[in-house]
Amino acid sequence: MHDTVTANHLWLIPALPLLGVVINATLGQRLGRGLVAIVAPGVVGIAFAVSLFTFASLLSLPSGTALTDTAFPWIHAGALQLDVGFRVDPLSAVMILVVTGVGFLIHVYSIGYMSHEPDVARYFTYLNLFTFAMLVLVLADSLPLLFVGWEGVGLCSYLLIGFWYDKEENANAGKKAFIVNRVGDAGFLLGTFLLFWNLGAGTHTFAFTELQAHVKDIPLGVVTAAALLLFVGATGKSAQLPLYVWLPDAMAGPTPVSALIHAATMVTAGVYMIARLNFLYVLTPTALTVVAWIGALTALFAATIGLAQNDIKKVLAYSTISQLGYMFLGVGVGAFSAGVFHLMTHAFFKALLFLGAGSVIHGMSGEQDMQKMGGLRKRMPITFGTFFIANLAIAGIPGFAGFFSKDEILLRAFTSENGSPALWVLGAIGAGLTAFYMYRLLFLTFYGECRADAEVAHHIHESPGAMTGPLVILAVLSIVGGWIGLPSHWLWGNRFEQFLAPVFGHQDAEHVSAALEYGLMATSVGIAVVGIAVAYFCYIVQPGMPMLIAWRAKGLYDLLFNKYYVDELYDAIVVQPIRRLSDKLWRSVDAGVIDGAVNGAAEAVSMAGGVWRRWQTGNVQHYALSFFVGAVVLIGYLAWR
């Protein structure tokens, strides 16, 4: 199970993007736009090549073998013997391929998208730094090193959301993301400490393999608490209820950043973490149930908000939150490989959707409001075609990537021990809503008459090759990406699950009757088709319908349009009380006590100086007098003591 082979090249995978960071940060301004645009995607491309090589060597080894590379000792203190070590098992292999592969495409796309941006060196520095941190996260062989990557991607997310920091709105969005994530990270750290305390006496490397070996010695209550605390971290990073609020605002960043960080890779870190710690979570059905329900509720909740948004990126943001909910639903019902499978297919089609939206925004001179789009089908044919494929994939139309992964999750949600029909119903309704809002987006953007201003409409153009190239590749992946995980008795079966089996253990597949499986499949596809049909009816056949519905169900529409007023609620119950408390503390404790003590000390010294200063007359004869008096006193003392 835990055979390992040393592979001394693993450190190269994160080191290459780090090299890009160093080059772009120090020489970026001097190299000029052209060289930066070669270096930044180049290092990620080489990292992708190394990842492919690693993947190939992993495949050539017997199943269950992992590649390891201990880079250097990190913290050796007391009972802690922590090394910086990288480990590639099937799960990490999938992740590094997704991160470097999709990351490379998005780097290339960025060259085109950021072609009007003056500060392109800073942009690519951050983007490479993100890739580095994300690779550390997925390659880490210990929980603390994973946390380093976890924080690193959070930092890059903050930097890139606020990339155009001269607008206060963007800077605030960055801060919001950072602060909300701090809440989650506090849970993550507490979970880590809890595990460490309960590892028992002796020295510990804190590696995942060691954790796996010792986890059975830890009391179940502690395991549950640690699992739930770590999941709090995941809800922050992966934007789940109740900490999802930062992700929609994160759309303030450049669109390729939304695609890479806030759709394809970083936000899936929480799913990855739970999949990585699957040995911990399977011990505690309580925590798994919480994960599954939070996931399912988020999937439905975010999908309903997505129905009423008009900003093209906001719709995609809520869609991402919703899809992440499906991944948590998958891992929560114990279908870890299905969750990771959806993570991968989602990375393909959601990156494609974001990049397509970016292409639209680029062509529309920065317009993001779908109400001012329309009719782009003929003006931007490649963008439209690839976007259409991504839509089919996310809606779960059979044959496309999203179908296989989502269907697997929904099936397991229904049949698995931890699952229940209620979870399936939530997921299925969410799938219908997903189909509806995605086709609403598609119809509003690409069909009908162009509603843009004449000036903007005149400038609409298809994006350059650097942008459409990645779109086409991702579109291909959005189709074929799902074929490696077919339902178990189709053709070659679920190769993906077999590949990941060494990590997740051989799960006894429930014997599901074919009738049930096909019945569930047909139902969820049917719901999706209904969603599409409703969208078609509302936005193509009867374009007046949405207005009418919004008017008739005004209360509901306002509720959705204003995102259930969650931001306002958090503002009222969390942000404002803390602000008021901070304000009070600032005025009383900070200004009164702390400043008082510091300034008081300075005043006291100053006053003492004012008094003692009078002795320093500057008159030498006064000094001489003091000297004589002193001498006389001293001699008198010595003579008569």
Partner 1 sequence: MVPVTYYLVLSAILFAIGAVGVLIRRNVIVIFMSIELMLNAVNLLFVAFARQWHAMDGQVIVFFVMTVAAAEAAVGLAIIISMFRGRETTNVDELNLLRW
Helices (H), 586-619: 595-612
Helices (H), 198-268: 208-214, 220-237, 246-249, 255-259
Residue 628 Cβ vs partner 1, minimum distance, rounded to whole Å: 6
CA distance 348 to 357: 14
Residue 639 Cβ vs partner 1, minimum distance, rounded to whole Å: 13
Question: Cα-flanking dihedrals φ and ψ of residue 86, to 5°?
Answer: -110, 150
* Angle in degrees, CA 545, 550, 556, rounded to 5: 140
CA distance 374 to 103: 30
Give the distance, in angstroms, between the CA of residue 186 and the centroid of all CA atoms in the same chain.
16
CA distance 438 to 443: 9
Residue 636 Cβ vs partner 1, minimum distance, rounded to whole Å: 14
| Between 522 and 634, CB nearer to partner 1 | 634
Instruction: Give the DSSP H or E segment for 434.
Output: helix 421-446
| Between 537 and 627, CB nearer to partner 1 | 627
Angle subtended by helix axes 465-480 and 401-415, to nearest 10: 40
Angle subtended by helix axes 312-332 and 285-306, to nearest 10: 160
- Contact yes or no for 132/298 (Cβ under 8 A): no
Residue 619 Cβ vs partner 1, minimum distance, rounded to whole Å: 7
Residue 631 Cβ vs partner 1, minimum distance, rounded to whole Å: 9
Amino acid letter, 160: L
Residue 627 Cβ vs partner 1, minimum distance, rounded to whole Å: 10
| Between 544 and 610, CB nearer to partner 1 | 610
What does the binding site for partner 1 look like in residue numbers (CB under 8 A)? 616-621, 624-625, 628
Amino acid letter, 5: V
CA distance 359 to 464: 9
CA neighbor of 478 nearest in space, from 407, 535, 532, 397: 397
- In this structure, what token pair is assigned to residue 31? 């190299």
- Contact yes or no for 157/250 (Cβ under 8 A): yes
CA distance 163 to 126: 9
Mind giving me the DSSP string for 273-310? HHHHTHHHHTT-HHHHHHHHHHHHHHHHHHHHHHTT--
CA distance 348 to 353: 9
| Between 6 and 606, CB nearer to partner 1 | 606
Residue 622 Cβ vs partner 1, minimum distance, rounded to whole Å: 9
Pairing of strands 66-77, 80-88: antiparallel
Residue 616 Cβ vs partner 1, minimum distance, rounded to whole Å: 6
| Between 60 and 621, CB nearer to partner 1 | 621
Amino acid letter, 200: G
- Contact yes or no for 21/131 (Cβ under 8 A): no
Residue 608 Cβ vs partner 1, minimum distance, rounded to whole Å: 17
| Between 165 and 628, CB nearer to partner 1 | 628
| Between 581 and 634, CB nearer to partner 1 | 634
Residue 76 Cβ vs partner 1, minimum distance, rounded to whole Å: 57
What are the CA-CA distances from residue 574 to residues 20, 187, 577, 581, 593 (Å)? 40, 17, 6, 11, 26
| Between 515 and 620, CB nearer to partner 1 | 620
- Contact yes or no for 273/287 (Cβ under 8 A): no
| Between 562 and 626, CB nearer to partner 1 | 626
Residue 621 Cβ vs partner 1, minimum distance, rounded to whole Å: 6
| Between 544 and 618, CB nearer to partner 1 | 618
Q: Is the dihedral of CA 437, 470, 402, 141 positive or negative?
A: negative
| Between 193 and 628, CB nearer to partner 1 | 628
| Between 591 and 605, CB nearer to partner 1 | 605
- In this structure, what token pair is assigned to residue 24? 């772009």
* Angle in degrees, CA 89, 104, 172, rounded to 5: 100
CA distance 283 to 293: 17
Residue 618 Cβ vs partner 1, minimum distance, rounded to whole Å: 3
Residue 603 Cβ vs partner 1, minimum distance, rounded to whole Å: 22
Residue 607 Cβ vs partner 1, minimum distance, rounded to whole Å: 18
| Between 26 and 617, CB nearer to partner 1 | 617
| Between 518 and 628, CB nearer to partner 1 | 628
Residue 624 Cβ vs partner 1, minimum distance, rounded to whole Å: 6
CA neighbor of 157 nearest in space, from 20, 249, 278: 249
- Contact yes or no for 149/133 (Cβ under 8 A): yes
- Contact yes or no for 134/266 (Cβ under 8 A): yes
| Between 491 and 639, CB nearer to partner 1 | 639
